[in-house]
Structure 1
Amino acid sequence: MRRALTSFVIFGFSAAAGFVALAAIVGFLGFALWPFDVFNHLQPLWLIGGGVSLVFAPLILRRQPVRGFVIALSATGFLAATAIVLPEYLAGLQQTEPELEASETQRLMTFNIYAKNDDLNALALSVLEVDPDIVVFQEFWRWHRAGLEERLRKNYPFALHCQGGRRSFVALYAKMPFAPQPGNNCVDSLAADQRTSIISVNFPATEQHDSFSIVTTHLDWPIPTDRQHGQMNALIDAIQQVDGPLLVAGDFNSTPYSYALKNLVKRAGLKRIAKGIPTWPAPPTYPFKMPAWLQLDQIMSRGEIIATPAKKGPSGGSDHYPLYTDFTVTTE
C-alpha cells in the first residue's frame, strides 16, 4: 500500500510539473503559432508552478530515473514564464509620474462593473470617489443603467449606451459634451445582434483642453482564439479611423503577457499606460479571497497624450478593479 501511494505521488508530481512546464513553453512559442498564445494569459501560474516544481523535484524524485528530466523541463518552463512575466512588472516599476497642469488635466476611468453586481450604491460611490471626467463601463446591463443613471446623471450629463450581444453592453459617461465619430459601432437597442460594441467619440477643443478621442470596447475571452482575434482586428480598424490624440480603454479579456495584445498595441500604434497592475479578481465575488493576479483591463494612448501611470480604484462589489489615469493633450 505504501509503495503504491509513493508511486502515485511520484507520478502525479511528475505529470503536474511536466504540464506546467509545457504550458509555459507552449505559451512562449505563441509568436510562431498564435493559438498557442492562449497559454500566455496564465503565465503567472506557470511561473509559480515552475518554481514549486524546481524546489520539490529534487526531494520528491530522489533516486528516480525521471528526476533529471523533470528538473530540466521545469527549469526550461520556469525560464520561459519568467521571460514573459518579468518584463511586464519591470516596465510597471519603471513608469514615472509626469508633471501635469491641474487646470488642463482630465481623468479617464474604465470599469467592468460585473453583470451580477447588484450593489448600485457601491458602484456609484466607486465612480464618485475616483471622480473621473470620463468613465467607460463594461457589463453595463439595462438594470445597471436604470439604477446608476439617476445616481450619476448630475455629475455626468453626457452619455452613450450600447446594447446587443453578450459583450455589447458598454457605456460612456462624461462631464463634457462629445460626438460619435467614424469607427463608432454602438447600437442602443436590444434588437441589435452584434457580439461586441465599439464606442468611438471625439471631445472637441475647449478653453481647458484640446480636442481628443476616446475608444472603448469589451472583448470576448481568448477562447475560441479566432473570435477574439477577429474582434481585435475590428478594434484596430476603428482606431485607425480616428485622427488626432486618442485614449483606448476597456476590458480586453487579454493580458499583457499575450502576443495578441502586444500585436494589437503595435498595429494600432498605441502606448500602454497600465503596466504591471492586476485588475482581476476583486473580492468578494469569489468563494475564497485571493489577490488580483491578472490584468484584463487596459488603458492605452496614441498621439499627443501625456498620462500618469494607471491606478486602481475601489471595486464597488465588482469582480474587476477599475483603472484610471490623469492626462493632458499637448497638440501645440
Structure 2
Amino acid sequence: MRLIVQLLSLLVRGAGLMLGLAGLGLALASLGGAWSDRLDALTHAAPLWLLMGMGAVALGAIFARGGERWAIVGLGGATILACAVMMLPEYWATWRFKPAMPVESDLKLVQFNAWHDNRSPETGLAWVEAQNADVVLIEEGAGGAAPIVKALKAQYPYSSCDRVAECETWIFSRKTMLARGGVPTDKPFLAGAWATLADAKGPFTVMAVHYTWPIPAGPQQAQSRKLVQFLSGFDKRDTILTGDFNSTPWSFSLKRQDKALGLRRWTRALASWPAGQFSRLAAAPAPFLPIDHVYAGSQWRAVKIERGPAVGSDHRPVVVTLRRLP
C-alpha cells in the first residue's frame, strides 16, 4: 500500500513538473509573437498556458517537498507571470469600464456570427428580434444561418445587400442607408460590408468584417493591413467597426491592429467562442476566447456592453449600446 502511495505521489509530482515546463515554454514562445506571426498564433491559447501554470503551482505546493516543491512552484509561477504580461492589460481595461443607463437616443447594435452550420436558426432569430436593435451586423449569413438573414431582411427597412444568396456579411439598419458597399475583392480576400447611415447628429458609418483563422500565420495579418488601409477612406471619428476577427485581445496581431485602426475597441475580455454545440463531437459549457469585437471612433462612447446567450451558433452574440458625443 505504501508503495502505491509513493508511486501515485511521484506521478502527481511529475505531472506538476511537466505542466510547469510545458506551460512556461509555451508562454515564453507566445511572447515571441511580438516579433513573429507564427509564434503569435500561440498567444491565442494563453488561457490554457495560464491554467497549466496554476496547475503546476497547486500540485507542487501540495504534493512536493523541499527543493522539488520550489522548482515546480517556481515554474508554475513564471508561467503565470508570462501570461499576465499578455492578458492583464486587457482585464485592467475591463475593470476600468464604467457603464451608464441607456437612453432612447443611444444606438443599440448587435454583432453576431450566425454560423453557416447553425442547427437552430429560429432560436437565433428569436433572440435577435427580441433585442430590437437599431443596427444588426451578421457574419456567416449563408448556409444554416440563411433563414436569419432572410427574416431580418424582411423586418429591417435597410440592408447592405440585395439578395440573400449573394453576401456572407450583412448590415441591417432601421436608419436610412445613404450609401453602402463591400470590401474590395482583391487579395487578400476579406469578407465585409459597410453602410453610411443617416442620423440627426450627422451621418456615420458602420462596418462588419470576418477574418480567417490565425493558423496558418500570415493571411489574417494581411487582412488586418487591408482593413486598416480600407478604413482610411472613412471619417474615423464617427465610424463603428464590428466583426468576427478570430483574434484574441492578448495576441500581438490584435494589439497592433488596435493601434493602427485609430478606433477604440470597447469589447474587452468578452469571451464569445465557443458556444453550445460548436462541433459534431464537442459542446462548450461557456466561451473562453474573446474574438468578436466592436470598435468605435472618438464621437462614440459605449454605455452598455453585453454578451448574449448560446442561440444556435458557435459564437455568442455581442450587444453594445453606444452614445454619440456632442
Whether TM exceeds 0.5 here: the answer is yes
Which residue matches 2:287?
A: 292
Return the match for 1:26 from 25, 29, 45: 29
The separation in 2 between residues aligned to 1:303 and 1:53, in whole angstroms, is 44
What SS does the corresponding residue of 1:261 show, helix, strand or coil? helix
Which residue matches 1:198?
A: 192
What's the offset of the Cα at 1:180? 4.2
**Does structure 2 conserve the Cα–Cα contact (< 8 Å) formed by 1:110 and 1:324?**
yes
The separation in 2 between residues aligned to 1:126 and 1:298, in whole angstroms, is 19
What SS does the corresponding residue of 1:277 show, helix, strand or coil? coil
Aligned 1:1-332 pairs, distance under 5 A:
11-62=14-65, 68-98=70-100, 101-102=103-104, 104-142=105-143, 144-145=145-146, 147-161=147-161, 169-180=168-179, 184-185=182-183, 195-205=189-199, 207=200, 209-243=201-235, 244-285=237-278, 287-330=282-325, 332=326
Change (3 A) 1:148 1:101: closer
What SS does the corresponding residue of 1:318 show, helix, strand or coil? coil
What's the offset of the Cα at 1:262? 1.2
What's the offset of the Cα at 1:195? 3.8
**Does structure 1 conserve the Cα–Cα contact (< 8 Å) formed by 2:245 and 2:291?**
yes
The residue type paired with residue 148 of structure 2 is L
The separation in 1 between residues aligned to 2:78 and 2:318, in whole angstroms, is 34
Q: Deviations over 1:166-198 (max 9, x none)?
A: xx721111122324468x3267xxxx9974312
**Does structure 1 conserve the Cα–Cα contact (< 8 Å) formed by 2:139 and 2:244?**
yes
Change (3 A) 1:54 1:73: same
What SS does the corresponding residue of 2:24 show, helix, strand or coil? helix
The residue type paired with residue 282 of structure 1 is A
Q: Which runs of 5+ in 2 are unaligned?
A: none
**Does structure 2 conserve the Cα–Cα contact (< 8 Å) formed by 1:299 and 1:310?**
no
What's the offset of the Cα at 1:85? 2.2
The separation in 2 between residues aligned to 1:173 and 1:142, in whole angstroms, is 18
**Does structure 1 conserve the Cα–Cα contact (< 8 Å) formed by 2:304 and 2:322?**
no
The separation in 1 between residues aligned to 2:127 and 2:140, in whole angstroms, is 16
The alignment covers a number of residue pairs equal to: 317
The residue type paired with residue 235 of structure 1 is L
Matched-pair identity in %: 22
**Does structure 1 conserve the Cα–Cα contact (< 8 Å) formed by 2:271 and 2:290?**
yes
What's the offset of the Cα at 1:8? 6.1
The separation in 1 between residues aligned to 2:232 and 2:162, in whole angstroms, is 21
Q: Which runs of 5+ in 1 are unaligned?
A: none
Q: Deviations over 1:204-248 (max 9, x none)?
A: 33x4x4211111111011111211110110111111111140111
Single out whichever of 293-302 and 74-83 deviates more from structure 2: 74-83
The separation in 2 between residues aligned to 1:194 and 1:29, in whole angstroms, is 25
What's the offset of the Cα at 1:12? 4.7
What SS does the corresponding residue of 1:169 show, helix, strand or coil? coil
Q: TM-score of the superposition, structure 1-length normalised?
A: 0.84
What SS does the corresponding residue of 2:273 show, helix, strand or coil? coil
